[in-house]
Structure 1
Amino acid sequence: MKRAMWLLILTFSVFTQAKQSDPNLILVTIDGVRWQEVFYGLDDQLVTDKESTSDPKALKALFQGHNAQQSREKLMPFLWQYVVENGVILGDRKQNSTMRVSNPWYFSYPGYNEVITGIADPNIDSNDKKPNPNISFLEWLQSQPGFEPNLAVFGSWDVFPAIFNRERSKLHINAEFEIAKHTTNPKLQFLNELQAQVPSPWSSVRLDAFTYQYAKAHLQTQKPRVMMLALGEPDDYAHGGNYDEYIKGIHRADKILADLWQTLQAIPQYKNNTYLLITTDHGRGMGREDWRHHSSKAAIEKNYPSMLEKQPEGIVGSEQVWFAAIGPKIKAKGLVTPKQEQTLSQVTATALQLLGQNPSTFNPKIAPPLEGIAQ
């Protein structure tokens, strides 16, 4: 039934031949989601670990299939039954499809900088709210012909205004517990009230439902050609050692992706003419003890030296990431197996290439586009 629904959407989606205007692009990041769950569903060793999973029976009932394919489709049905069927995905290390961060730290601010600037800056070595000295491709696009000055960023984490250097970039940024200001839109007014009334489990990260609904309202009213949506729940639940909610957070993110795509297809500017890029900022550890963490050896030496005895090589697996995409000039290839390992820094050039821009004009030093994504 679910597969039939995605096929029905396909009838009216990006592959309908129609006169195309300048393409649009939405970049979605889902913080700290491992490739293991994306490609194989539930991790048996974590489901059976009492320290990680509080209700294994309920979690299996929701998300476990008879094999890995069924399990991943239960966890992320839109990604697997629609995006991968009609687009591309990479990052399955068991199938020689590998992608990693190229920064030396393996945590969020360096990872996001890499995604949006096309370079790995070793000087960005903390998650502190320091204004990013590097220019993002969104900031650059905002000054290019055909890209109106309403490009936007919506994020659940409170560091995004610094990551995009709000003061310098002048991008529209809504993050953490920020409200929609100076609005007469009834939906936004309601979201403002509701966000103030619904508690978040965290002091610096809001629930992804609010982030998405603010972003959706902006899409419907302001219609930016390029937008970034940064979801955060899975990473924060993982840091708390809560595998149940980490998994459910991934599933909710997939539902957001499905609703986002349907919303785009209902707006003439976006219908059949929008790229959706999906990725993460870092990986996580692979075992029962370290799946909740992510850091390189260099980061542990710098920030958590007491962990070196247990983690002498850092949190192995933190560098491993994944990527998926769908859109007008992306062929339905499914799993892409590049000739060499791809990096998170290649997302910027990929986005610019899909938008018809020359990546080297933005920055001649950035990493090249991802292999095998565009036609």
Structure 2
Amino acid sequence: MRLLCLWFSVLMGGSALAQPAQNLILVTLDGVRWQEVFNGADSTLLFDPAYSRDTASARKQFWAATTTERRKRIMPFLWNMIGQQGQLYGNRQQGNRVNVSNPHWFSYPGYNEILSGYADDRIKSNDKIDNPNTTVLEFLNQQPGLAGKVAVFSSWDVIEAAVNEHRSGIPANSANEPTRPVTSADSVLSDMTTLYPRDFGDGVRADFLTYFSARQYVKQKQPRILFLSFDETDELAHAGRYYDHLRMVKSIDSYLADLWQLVQKMPQYAGKTAILVTTDHGRGHTPKARWKDHGTKTADSYQIWIAAMGPGIRATGEQAGGPVLFQNQIAATLARLLGFDFKSDHPVGAPIDTIIDATR
């Protein structure tokens, strides 16, 4: 029967993978290291008052005797849900490696690589310049049934350039741009966006405002594809605020848990939605002060991680061993989860075949 299904798929011009997911959520946490994702809090930073303003509270909230306990204290949804029902990549202590392939190891080159599947040498700064590359979001927005069903919500304003909102026509609600309220909830969110302190400048919106704006949009518009990009984790790290960085990571994890609960109650999404969570770059680790930094002058900040769950994704949990994976493979993996082969006028990294369950 399996051979018959494969033969029929070839005759129909498709791949062996039937379309297992109808909706897709992509989430990025800017500059979150694999070390915290897989090991939990770093004691050298957590117990140092130079990086944790209240070491007693930091210890109480994030420290535990084992790695397994510590990582769940930071990201309980990631480990209790995705870790049980999906897959996690990037624990280098288990011989599982995920790298960026761009040579810069900072944000815009990373977001371009995630979205376009291509490490483009032209993108070598964080300047807000429209992405010349076709992204997987733009590609999907051109597919039958998906046009107008793609949405982007980001805390950092450069993301709207990374998705090339002007060319693609994909709405990118970014940073502190004004919105047009439709409901009373929209009006409150708009007022909060305008009035809430901008701790990191006008180009960065508080992550909780990004989340609740996206949540409201999902309830109203029900997009088929949602890209949700958070930024404060990186800003807090650059500021050397390790305890606050961990608190923000945990907050974002709680947003993902809330979003997942929401979509499982909505007929369009329940049992039909895949989620992929990743980061744009890593951070330094030796000496410990290098945690604040990334880029080519900061060793090992090319190291990243990926988590995925949903229809069409095998529930194999934390991965060990295997070939090195690259950030440029994420775009094609996202398309394949929806049953498409991402094609563009630039090279595209191959889908991560261990994520895709071709037997369904």
Structure 1 residue aligned with 2:295: 295
Structure 2 residue identity aligned to 1:293 = D
Structure 2 residue identity aligned to 1:190 = V
Q: Secondary structure at the match of 2:226?
A: strand
- Farther-moved stretch of structure 1 (226-235 vs 361-370): 361-370
Q: How does 1:303-342 map to 2 (within 5 A)?
A: 314-337=297-320, 339-342=322-325
Structure 2 residue aligned with 1:237: 236
Q: How does 1:150-161 map to 2 (within 5 A)?
A: 150-161=149-160
**Residues 30 and 279, structure 1, Cα contact 8 Å, conserved in 2:** yes
Structure 2 residue identity aligned to 1:36 = Q
Q: CA deviation at 1:135?
A: 1.1
Query: Is residue 195 from structure 1 mapped to residue 193 from structure 2 by the alignment?
Result: yes
Q: CA deviation at 1:337?
A: 3.3
**For 1:69 and 1:95, how far apart are their aligned partners in 2?**
14
Structure 1 residue aligned with 2:183: 185
Aligned CA distance change for structure 1 residues 364 and 129 (closer, same or farther; 3 Å): closer
- Note the alpha carbon deviations across 1:277-329, whole angstroms, 9 max, x for none: 00000000003221000001xxxxxxxxxxxxxxxxx2012100000010011
Query: Is residue 59 from structure 1 mapped to residue 41 from structure 2 by the alignment?
Result: no
**Residues 133 and 346, structure 2, Cα contact 8 Å, conserved in 1:** no
**For 2:271 and 2:74, how far apart are their aligned partners in 1?**
26
Q: CA deviation at 1:48?
A: 2.6
Structure 1 residue aligned with 2:273: 274
Aligned CA distance change for structure 1 residues 267 and 179 (closer, same or farther; 3 Å): farther
Structure 2 residue aligned with 1:164: 163
Structure 2 residue aligned with 1:133: 132
- Note the alpha carbon deviations across 1:13-35, whole angstroms, 9 max, x for none: xxxxxxx9861000000000000
Query: Is residue 347 from structure 1 mapped to residue 330 from structure 2 by the alignment?
Result: yes
Q: CA deviation at 1:338?
A: 5.3
Q: Secondary structure at the match of 1:140?
A: helix
Q: How does 1:33-48 map to 2 (within 5 A)?
A: 33-48=32-47
**Residues 338 and 371, structure 1, Cα contact 8 Å, conserved in 2:** no
CA RMSD of superposed structures (Å): 1.4
Q: Secondary structure at the match of 1:89?
A: strand
Unaligned runs of 5+ in 2: 1-18
Structure 2 residue identity aligned to 1:368 = A
Aligned CA distance change for structure 1 residues 364 and 105 (closer, same or farther; 3 Å): closer
Aligned CA distance change for structure 1 residues 338 and 366 (closer, same or farther; 3 Å): farther
Structure 1 residue identity aligned to 2:328 = S
Q: Secondary structure at the match of 1:217?
A: helix
Q: CA deviation at 1:364?
A: 7.0
**For 1:149 and 1:102, how far apart are their aligned partners in 2?**
31
Unaligned runs of 5+ in 1: 1-19, 297-313
**Residues 76 and 251, structure 1, Cα contact 8 Å, conserved in 2:** yes
Match of 1:368 among 350, 355, 360: 350
Aligned CA distance change for structure 1 residues 179 and 21 (closer, same or farther; 3 Å): farther
Structure 2 residue identity aligned to 1:233 = E
**For 1:168 and 1:97, how far apart are their aligned partners in 2?**
37
**Residues 118 and 346, structure 2, Cα contact 8 Å, conserved in 1:** no
Q: Secondary structure at the match of 1:289?
A: helix
Structure 1 residue identity aligned to 2:311 = P
TM-score (norm 2): 0.91
**For 1:169 and 1:208, how far apart are their aligned partners in 2?**
24
Q: CA deviation at 1:209?
A: 0.6
Structure 1 residue aligned with 2:96: 97
- Note the alpha carbon deviations across 1:242-280, whole angstroms, 9 max, x for none: 111111011001001101101111111000000010000
Structure 2 residue aligned with 1:26: 25
**For 1:338 and 1:371, how far apart are their aligned partners in 2?**
15
Q: Secondary structure at the match of 2:267?
A: coil
**For 2:348 and 2:225, how far apart are their aligned partners in 1?**
19
Structure 1 residue identity aligned to 2:351 = P
**Residues 180 and 214, structure 1, Cα contact 8 Å, conserved in 2:** no
**For 1:41 and 1:213, how far apart are their aligned partners in 2?**
26
Structure 2 residue identity aligned to 1:25 = L
**For 2:96 and 2:307, how far apart are their aligned partners in 1?**
12
